[in-house]
Amino acid sequence: MIHNRVAVLRADLGLSRQDLADKVGVNYQTIGFIERGDYSPSLELAFAISEVFSANINQVFSVRPFKPLFSNKENE
């Protein structure tokens, strides 16, 4: 399984699934499948999605689960 931060990054940019799909040339449902982990993108598509976010591919996709970007705990 390929883990990803697509939904978080997409929301950060204020993009809908359709907006992102249009930018990378796929159906909006494909973006939903990727976000849910139901579909692993091709390398070409993974790079295209990463480019939309101006991020390195390993900031968007990983073979290991991502650690949360923010912690719910206050500084201890």
Q: In whole angstroms, what is the distance from residue 68 CA to residue 46 CA?
A: 21
Ramachandran category for residue 25: left, alpha or beta (phi over 0 → left; psi -120 to 50 → alpha)? left
Report the run of H or E that residue 13 belongs to, with start and end. helix 6-13
Q: 20-63: per-residue pLDDT in tens?
A: 999 999 999 999 999 999 999 999 999 999 999 999 999 999 99
Residue 76 has pLDDT above 60, yes or no: no
pTM, whole model, 2 decimals? 0.86
Q: 2-12: per-residue pLDDT in tens?
A: 999 999 999 99
Ordered structural domains, the chain, with CATH: 3-60 (1.10.260.40)
